[in-house]
Structures are given as structure tokens and as C-alpha cells.
Structure 1
């Protein structure tokens, strides 16, 4: 089985700048999967990726040797997932099924997974608390939940830096954290809101990280033209991610929840 760092960690000259946006999540997720596998005494985990789309996370997880089930409402996304998994040589370890997190147990079994990924889902569901409860119900005892959602503070900061001060203020006061009618994101969260949702569903909060604290704000020209800048920015993102002071300005927030044994 591949090492997590070989699959989704470690900066290389050929890695795209977009990797900055997911590096922190991969580091936390890779560690959680490794610990779960060691505790369970197995090299192969059953992983559920809710809203996993075309497999941005599912395929790298399958490359680690795990079995991944992707639940997504889009047939087109699932078709792309199948093709992507085949190209990566992991088609036998990736299964896509059409559905969503509210009807999760119409398509997968309860308590059947060692880890559940819930990335970019809570922003779009009618009832985030129900979505989290379903994700938790899909976990086996001692399983891990990887939760990634849009952060309120990052949106406010981005609108303000773009000169849209009224929209920044609107996002601050809006119950859903939206900056206006044209906002493509239906809902945003604070770190406190996400940890409360995870705790209320019966999980222990293992870690909270800010994601894309700097990556969305630093001009691409600075990163692309300075030797070593991409690696330095990645290290900065990684070190700042765990500091609570930066959670309030992160574009996304990542929470790792752990189910009792």
C-alpha cells in the first residue's frame, strides 16, 4: 500500500498551484486513515465519500489501497469518476452510486465504513445537522469523519479585499453567511458552528484546521515567478492551518471527528 505522503503530500516542482488548496486536508486525512488502519489491524479500510463527485479525494484514497464508495447526485460526475478511477488503475476499489446525504441509507449501509468524507456538502443541504447525523451513522465504532465546509471569515475578507465592502458587511450579518443574491455558495460556517454540529452528532472533535488561509489571497504571479515560493507558501499554509487565530479568515474549514469505540 502506498504511503499517504506519496499520494497526496509533499511538494514537488510538477505539482500544480491548486494543490495548495487541498494539502492541509490531505495531511490530516492521510494521518487519520493511517491511525484507523493500525487500530483496526488492517491495510484496507472501507471509506465513504459523500458528494464525492468526480473523485478528487476518492481516487487518491483508493490509491492508498482502500475501498471507496462515492455517493453523488450527479450521473455525469459519477461517469467521470468511473473514468478517472480506471485511468488511475483503481477501478476495482472505487464504486460510485447515485444519491445524496439525506437519503444516504437508501444506497449504502449503516455502520459500514471506517471513515466518511463529507467535503463541500453541508453548504448545499437543507438541514446540515441531519446531514452530519447521517454521516456519523454510516461510521463503524472508532471511525473518523472528515468534514470540509466553506468558512464565513474567508468570504468576508475576500469581498473586502476586492473592494466590495457592502457585500462583506452583508455576509457578516446574513444568517447563512451569504454576501448577496449573486453569491454561488448557499451557506457558510464558522469553526464554532461546525464543531458544535460534530459534537452534537456524538463525535469527539479531533482537530480543526483552516484551509486556504493564504492560497486564495496571494497573487499567482508572486508564486509562479519566485523560485521556491510554492513550497514556502505550502509550508506557511500547513503551519497556520492548526492555529485558531487563522480559522476566522480561512476560505474553508476542516474538522476531523472521531466516533467512540
Structure 2
């Protein structure tokens, strides 16, 4: 779902600008799960990530895909982004799984937006607090579910590997404060993390049916609140 939304958005932006090659930044892009497919579309992608190992894997992956000339690996993070990417030079930014781990999500998002030209795109994927509450409750961890529900950071306890989660309202506020206009919201993994794996693995056709259900539910606002992740597509004013 996320890839299809991103791909279509890049296609529209390319048509709007009247040029086939866009400048894309993938912050926290790691080994290139999105960067390499974006480069395969013909766009230039700068991946900014703090891990040298991940960037090495990215370069190897880009070489295997034949897009080495379109992918640039830069060690850094959202905080140092203004020093790495010129302001207003980017057509689209991918920010997937980043706001959960940075010290200051508002500052990080502001730095990302600062690299964009007018009308530039932001693809934002973040962990949803309500989805974690539901998952813990379904697993019988009711105290942890209540902790996540009440905690400002959406964590269910000291053992929670996720540093921070957001509600849809919090993401709306962050994007608005950063000067972004949200154009679409999708719920990601509405059911997948709740369904016992044995059902998907053993029932014929179950995986395909689950994927179709996920795709259908992703666009319905009623399911956004309980998705594991929220994907927002936005544009800079």
C-alpha cells in the first residue's frame, strides 16, 4: 500500500513539474527498501542514514539493481539534514519509521520540509499508538495495553522496543506545524499483526485474502485508529 501511494504520487509530481527525473531524499532509508525502487523509476535518490553498515548494503543493492548512478548514500540523520541537503532543492522526501526514534519529531520534520521546494511531497510513515493498545489487549496484556493508552509516548512499558508512537491527531498537528497539507491517510497493517500466523500459513488462499482485506481497509478512516502504522502523504505549501 505504501509503495503504491508513493509511486503514484511521484508520477503525479513528475507530470506537474514537466520533467521525468525528480530529486528525492529518503531519510532513515537504510538498505534501500524504498530508495532502490524509486531509483528504478528513474529518479535520483539521496539516502541519509546514520548506519554505515546500512549504507554499505544500500550501495550493494543499488549496484545489483543497476541504479548506482541514481542513488547517493550519505551518513547522517534528520538533525544534520540541513547540512547535507541544500534548502529547497528536493521534490519529495520519504520519512518512514523516523519520527519514532528522533529526539525531537517536530524539529526533524521541520528539517525535512526545509529541503523541499514549493509543492514538494512528504511520505510519512509512523507507528500508531492505538494499534499498539489493541495488539497488547488482544494478546492478553491488559496492563501493558492500558499503559500504552495513557502514556504520552504510546509505549507499553520499559521493555517496549519502540521509543515513541503517535495518534492520528498528533501526526496531524506535527504536519500542520511543519507547514504541510495532508492529502491522504492510510492505515497500514490493520489486521495483519492481530491474525494468528498459523491461520495465514495453513489456510489455502488466506494470505491473498488478508492482503486484499488490508488494501480495502487501508483507505477507510474508520480503521485508521487501530492500524499498526499510519501513512500520511502531504505537500509543502
TM-score range, shorter chain: over 0.9
Matched, 1:79 2:79: no
Are residues 1:225 and 2:202 paired? Answer: yes
3-state DSSP of counterpart to 1:117: strand
The residue aligned with 1:160 is 137
1:45 Cα deviation after fit = 0.8
Write the deviation string for residues 84-127 of structure 1: whole angstroms up to 9, x where unpaired: 11111111111100001011011111111110001000001111
Report how many aligned residue pairs link the two structures: 237
User: How far apart, in 2, do the equivalents of 1:203 and 1:46 lie?
Assistant: 18
Query: Contact conserved, 1:191 with 1:208, CA < 8 A, in 2?
Result: no
Q: Does 1:40 align with 2:17?
A: yes
RMSD: 1.1
CA distance in 2, matches of 1:227, 1:172: 36
Aligned to 2:94: 117
The reply on whether 1:169 has 2:143 as its aligned counterpart is no
What displacement does 1:139 show? Answer: 0.8
After the TM superposition, which residues 1-261 of structure 1 pair with which residues of structure 2 at under 5 Å, given as runs?
Answer: 24-260=1-237
1: CA distance between counterparts of 2:38 and 2:204? 31
**TM score, norm. by length of structure 1:** 0.88
Take 1:201 and 1:148, find their aligned partners in 2: how far apart are those partners?
Answer: 16
Match for residue 9 of structure 1?
none
Give the C-alpha shift of residue 162 in structure 1: 1.2
Contact 1:73 1:99 in 2 (8 A): yes
CA contact (8 A) 1:48 1:68 kept: yes
Long gaps (5+) in structure 2: none
Gaps of 5+ in 1: 1-23
- CA positional deviation for 1:227: 3.3
Q: 1:31-79 deviations in whole A, cap 9, x for unaligned? A: 1101101101111111100010111111111111111000001111101
